[in-house]
A and B are shown apart, each in its own frame.
Chain A
Amino acid sequence: MDVLLFAAAAVRISVPYALAAMGASLSERGGVVCIALEGLMLNGALAYTLGAYATQNPWAGVACALLAGLLTAWLHAEATVRFRADQITTGLGINLLAAGLTRFVLVRVFHSSSNSPRVPGLPEWRLPVLSDLPGVGALLSSPLVLVTLALVVLVHALLFRTVFGLRLRAIGERPEAAATLGLSVTRHRFAGVLLCGLLAGLAGAYLSSEQHSFTDGMTGGRGYIALAAMIVGKWNPMGAAAACLLFGAAEALQIKLQGSAFPSELLQALPYLITMLALAGFIGRAVAPRAVGTPYDPES
């Protein structure tokens, strides 16, 4: 029972990571580095709160979060794909922009520099059998948990089983080869980044919905953990989701051990250390798509 509860806690924590990490894998497989997850999630979280606050309907909040993720990602895509700006700096800029913008809106709309009023969260889905399972029943009644589980399969299939996914992967590896076959590098990279925005926006909605409010800087570095998970998962949506589960378990353990003599802060550093080891080649070889980070310039 205890184990099941712990597993449920780990899954709960890893849901936003998994959504964002899967998004990043779509963006990076197409050749655009996604440092901007943090900003995408933050904007999504605020948009959920605004939508849910204004309409008192959590699903309207989710729609707003998706839209905010999409718009933020569109900005990222315009800069990196159309203007061929440096992808890393653009991502950092978008994170900074989201941090400032959400605070600005928080102050203007909710007249508080720290948090929004309470907003409705997503209602539980009472499902036969699943919702009655011991330990994990509550978990499996959460709509976004179920959506995420489905998305893990869907996004993986999108990348590896569809024409779009094949073309996206080809463009992330060898854009000039895809271009000589008449594929549009710009359009595919835009699609990858925008899908990433949708998923990260949804991740933000999950955070706000769980917490029933928006608080300043509430993503708290989760975007970077998601990015790390995507690397450890070797740029595969399923691998990324699995790494998120691992990182989520570490975090659940850390929460459990807080206040005890055990140095839980060191557990907090674990995901980052694992990622560094993966990058250095100690845990299999984490190889990025070859053209990731390189703007595609058809003239050169």
Chain B
Amino acid sequence: MTTEYEVVIGLEVHVELNTDSKMFCSCPTTFGAEPNTHVCPICLGMPGVLPVINRKAVEYTIRAALALNCQVAKYSKFDRKNYFYPDLPKNYQISQYDLPLATGGYVEISVDGKKRKIGIRRVHLEEDAGKLLHEGTGPKTSLVDFNRTGVPLIEIVSEPDLRSPEEARLYLNKLRTILHYTGVSDVKMEEGSLRCDANVSIRPLGSEVFGTLTEVKNMNSFRAVERALAYEVERQKEILERGEKVERETRGWDENRRITVSMRGKEEAHDYRYFPEPDLVPLEISRDWVEEIQERLPDMPDERQARLVRELGLPEYDAEVLTSSKDLADFYDACVKHYPEAKTVSNWVMGEVLGYLNEKGLEITDLPFRPEDLAGLLRLIDKGTISGKIAKQVFQEMCKSGKAPETIVEEKGLKQITDESEIAAIVEKVMEDNPKVVEDFRGGKEKALGFLVGQVMKATRGKANPQLVNRLFRERL
């Protein structure tokens, strides 16, 4: 008899805030600078320096917390988390311990069409550490770059509500979408502005007590998260199946070997000796401030999705796809503003636009043209200036050159030929050149017309108005 297990996963997600300056000093937060050029005495932890809180970082944390349906604390403070590591200049991290900025929120995910609420235990604000580089410096040394040190970081701790690696991925994805909507972070896992650790345990189905958990780290992509968790769940199952016990430990995901490995030979007892940061005064978050931030909070994906269905009559599926990123939703909304046929726009955005972006591996913000240009393209079809087919050609050109559709049509002479006499001449020429086909049609072969029309389109390089060509043939046959 094999036991059925329930998977219990909680995620700790770290997100770098995209403030201009660091958490406690005025160094820039931009990614990718020469090592140790975005540093000052404060973020280098020089003797005598003091931190001063970046107001925007607090504001962004509150904004993120509100988007995650959290309660924002009326009173909060910073604490020192003491541990030694060479990428941590002061050998303590300014973080928040018992009074985080926000608690008690949730994120809604849909799993197999069913909605699930995943609890958010807390959101707190802290400072990032530097980077330790092991490459290119010999086997016995490491290099430290402090550019990232002190970048504001929020930690979002979920409740252990996730029941499968897939749910964990869906949650993480939703979290990213929401945070991206709020604009507080770039949430790019590959640049490290979003990082994720997981607490994983399993227990016999129906059991009330949690199993021993392991902490899984080093998951550097969304795919890695799902894979690592799936591996870890299986590993724990096998241990329990063998009648052994899961050891409480930290394990790292090895992407190459696709396994988790124990990160510490022996579990070192963490003793962070938290105490209130004496260099910073507490925070009193007024309700006015929270309301002000709430008011400026953009619609979150769920609300926006509902609005597209309700107000524009889009199918659920379209609405979900179009709101999967804020930039995409913004693009769509802007198109609809200029061209109010919601479903037509949706078809184009989901078809041509997303197709192009996926093919090229680009983001919506990389498009060289504006939403009103896409609207303009659709209007050209409506006006009969170009056909739907030519429109797709124009779209590709827009993607390449970023030029307005009207310009492209003009420059490439793609304008539909609607002059009856001009087309009539071509129609007659085609009939002359293809007597056999003409006969076939007259003999009842409907398909033959298609060939004839095709010949006209070929001769006009697709610019002849297809309805007109059809009519002219029928009149003559």
Q: Are chains A and B native binding partners rather than an unrelated pairing?
A: no
Instruction: List chain B positions with a Cβ less than 8 A from chain A.
Output: none
Instruction: List chain A positions with a Cβ less than 8 A from chain B.
Output: none
